[in-house]
Structure 1
Amino acid sequence: MPHLLPDTGPQRTLAASNFTYTVGSGLFLTAGVLYFTQAVHLPAAQVGLGLGIAGFFSLAVGIAVGRLADTRGARGVYATTLVIQALATACFIGADSFWPFVLAVCTATAAKAAGLAARSPLIRHYGGDRPQEFRGYLRAVTNVGISLGALLAGWIVQVGTLTAYQLLIIGNAIAFAASAAILVLLPPVEPEPAVDSPRWIALRDRPYLVLTVLDGVMAIQFKVLTVAIPLWIVEATTAPPWLISGTMLLNTVLVIALQVRAGRNVDSPVAGAGAYRRSGMAFLLSCALVSLSAGTPAWAAGTLLLTAVLIHTIGELWHSAAGFEVSFGLAPKHATGQYLGVFGLGAGLAEALGPALLISACITWGRPGWYVVGALFAVTGLAAPLAVRWAQRRQQAGKGHTASRQPPRRICQTSPP
């Protein structure tokens, strides 16, 4: 943890706010679905449908709130999203039927997406010369916070009473509210000066939109560890079930220890493109190893799975570093929130569609599906450098166009005698 503490005061304030928030997130990620199915007794199908509706509802919110953060001040907008998320989460206690549940979870999920976009100008402003590296710090801190929240949630699930689950929801809401309160210590960030550009400039940037789609396809890899591999271990291998926790622990420890280091050499969009390419190859190799674990003895299956998770995590580190660099490096400073809100659409789509895709391909289809998914990651990684070069050409053309529109400088000359 001491190595995860940034140097400056504002960076530490943001890191503390992020840590507090992610402890609450860890509580809900681990036991939120169980609260609605086991404590509130909503049917699992209704819970899945409600979460899907919330995921799609939240997609467009980040763009609008990101633009609001650019024009009105990021700190206040970000703190407001945290407060709304805290209130919506507290309302889960009263959500004892389908539509109140949908309303509460849509509000909380939309506030979460909005907060990610509104926080981006703060990261860029207080991140120093390398805001992408500071974003890597925050991701490492995020994994620490979620791990602690998951441990607390494990105790609550073990108790299993309605009161225990309600304490989980209250603790989650308090964590979000405390995260907003910590932001009071953060100096406000003045909006960037307005420039002569289209109102929704990010939605007109076609290369950036292509990169958003490519990053979204690559972001399906986050669901490989949380959805596909656990189901594969139980249904297709002889590996012991406790290996599910072992794979998650291995991934979490490696991300905490290595995310900052993995991003230090990814210091330009071109380097980010190379990291995308390497991550795609790593995911292809990892998927191939997972597929080979079926039909082998338990010790061989466990060895193959742990090796696959190790390689997958290396690819995850490269993918995250690439996304941080490309999303910030190709976004104009005055529209950081709007651009990062657009970039978040890719991850949102992966969150909504990834589980169904992985279950259909890897679990229902079986071994061939793993090769198809791995090939999808590899092709996406190979396409990313082409999109980055396209985006850079557009960026350079835009700078040249702006320069050509500057009024000519008047030269004062005296008349000859």
Structure 2
Amino acid sequence: MSSSYHRQPLTIDEEGLLMPALLPNTAPQRVLAACNFVYTLGSGLYLTAGVLYFTQAVHLPAGRVGLGLGVAGIVALAVGVAAGHLADRRGARGVYATTLAVQALATAGFLWADSFWLFVLAVGVVAGGKAAGQAARSPLIRHYGGDRPQAFRAYLRAVTNVGISLGALAAGWVVHVGTVPAYRLLVVGNAVAFAASAAVLLRLPPVKPVATTGGPRWTALRDGPYLLLAALDGVMGIQFKVLTVAIPLWLVAATAAPHLLVSGIMLVNTVIVVVFQVRAGRGVDSPAAGGSAYRRAGAAFLVSCSLISLAAGVPAWAAATLLMTAMVIHTIGELWHAAAGFEVSYSLAPPHATGQYLGVFGLGAGVAEALGPGLLIALCIGWGRPGWYVVGALFVLTGMAAPPAVRWAQSRSPGRAPAPAPPENASDNAPIPSTVA
């Protein structure tokens, strides 16, 4: 762990087997962490039950919801790179705060989205604001993240999941109650959290724009290897939609598991991420290690998808056991996937164009937003059990393609000599975290 953090008296384990009680050492880092925490209190509500809001409260068909979320993902593709470039040139804090305010207003618009096209408009603006915000936040993380911003980014993800877990608790009550007023309260809570996070961010000192080094304006869009990595990360990023789209719909429509388990699954996921994300990133300290982590993640997702498929047609206790086991394995893959993305995206991005490059890397997330919901609903919900196997195969093939793509990116990136290849299977034999606080 870099010197940007200090250890608190409640630290349990010097080796990090349990979640260390760490706080950022600098005031700007604490502001960014607080902004993340507040933001994700609302995100936990929406990630856990947002799809169910539109299907159960607004009564839109699941297929139309998937189509609308796909359109929203296309919108996100269009704005991320531009917002990152604007943050590099005009100042990241103001751009990021603006995106949070836009998301707050658009989320509140869900209350009036009682038709398909109003739904598409609202989720499109939210998805665009989210993609723009992620790109605009990247220069702030790089500037205030210390010697290794990837480590601070992993820390922020752990904090993020604390907020998501608390939001998921409230969302579980909403799903359990299942009334329209309860679902509307979920939307209001999400919008308020976005607005509050923008207010917290204003306490962050502004970051001066980085001077350009000359050359083409849109260098990231000319970097073929980096674009390939962004695409692979995007395909792998569909795994996030397994958690927030496919599993809730599968659980409700195809299994006998109790509906309250939707919240429990989210809690298992977030607790493991909180405990282990920083630790999972410690060994992923080079682009080559990132490629290996992608490969391990793909294998984990294949196993979890196979177990999820088996939850249909069995007694409630067996379905619940299969789903919870699958979620633990899925989350281990998620830890590796996230650590790989943090390392590759920052290591191969030049400092003067962090926002632009991370905006390009966010195109992958936009692909997942655009294609993921519809693809998962069509395969996993529409086709059923065989569709889960197809999705798992997609993940494992993507993971296998990542290491050669990383080597190509290192060989083609000016000033970034390729790192030596890791010993055969060295990363693959790393121990899997097994202790949860």
Question: When the two structures are superposed, what TM-score results if normalisation uses the length of structure 2?
Answer: 0.81
Displacement of 1:290 in angstroms is 3.7
Q: Tell me the residue number matched to 2:47.
A: 29
Return the letter of the residue paired with 2:395: F
Corresponding position: 1:396 with 2:394: no
Q: Deviations over 1:190-223 (max 9, x none)?
A: 1112111211111111001111111111111122
* Residues 97, 175 of structure 1: alpha-carbon distance in 2 compared, 3 angstrom cutoff: same
Aligned to 1:307, which of 321, 325, 334?
325
Larger fraction in helix:
1
Write the mapping of 1:8-407 to structure 2, written as runs, cut at 5 A.
8-33=26-51, 48-155=66-173, 167-233=185-251, 242-292=260-310, 301-396=319-414
Question: When the two structures are superposed, what TM-score results if normalisation uses the length of structure 1?
Answer: 0.85
Q: Does the CA-based 8 Å contact 1:4-1:141 persist in structure 2?
A: no
Counterpart secondary structure, 1:195: coil
Decide which moves more: 1-10 or 233-242. 233-242
Decide which moves more: 227-236 or 132-141. 227-236
Displacement of 1:57 in angstroms is 1.5
Gaps of 5+ in 2: 1-18, 418-437
Return the letter of the residue paired with 2:331: T
Displacement of 1:74 in angstroms is 0.6
Q: Tell me the residue number matched to 1:413.
A: none
Q: Does the CA-based 8 Å contact 2:299-2:396 persist in structure 1?
A: yes
CA RMSD after TM alignment: 3.0
Q: Does the CA-based 8 Å contact 1:20-1:175 persist in structure 2?
A: yes
Larger Rg: 1
Return the letter of the residue paired with 2:292: G
* Residues 340, 24 of structure 1: alpha-carbon distance in 2 compared, 3 angstrom cutoff: same
Decide which moves more: 169-178 or 152-161. 152-161
Counterpart secondary structure, 1:5: strand
Once residues 169 and 137 of structure 1 are traced to their aligned partners in structure 2, the CA distance between those partners, rounded to angstroms, is 27
Return the letter of the residue paired with 2:369: E
Counterpart secondary structure, 1:266: coil
Gaps of 5+ in 1: 400-417
Decide which moves more: 387-396 or 304-313. 304-313
Counterpart secondary structure, 2:170: helix
Displacement of 1:159 in angstroms is 6.4
Q: Deviations over 1:319-352 (max 9, x none)?
A: 0100011011111111111111111111122122
* Residues 282, 40 of structure 1: alpha-carbon distance in 2 compared, 3 angstrom cutoff: closer
Once residues 309 and 53 of structure 2 are traced to their aligned partners in structure 1, the CA distance between those partners, rounded to angstroms, is 33
Q: Tell me the residue number matched to 1:415.
A: none
* Residues 230, 104 of structure 1: alpha-carbon distance in 2 compared, 3 angstrom cutoff: closer
Q: Does the CA-based 8 Å contact 2:287-2:344 persist in structure 1?
A: yes
Once residues 275 and 303 of structure 1 are traced to their aligned partners in structure 2, the CA distance between those partners, rounded to angstroms, is 27
Once residues 227 and 104 of structure 1 are traced to their aligned partners in structure 2, the CA distance between those partners, rounded to angstroms, is 18
Percent sequence identity over matched residues?
A: 74
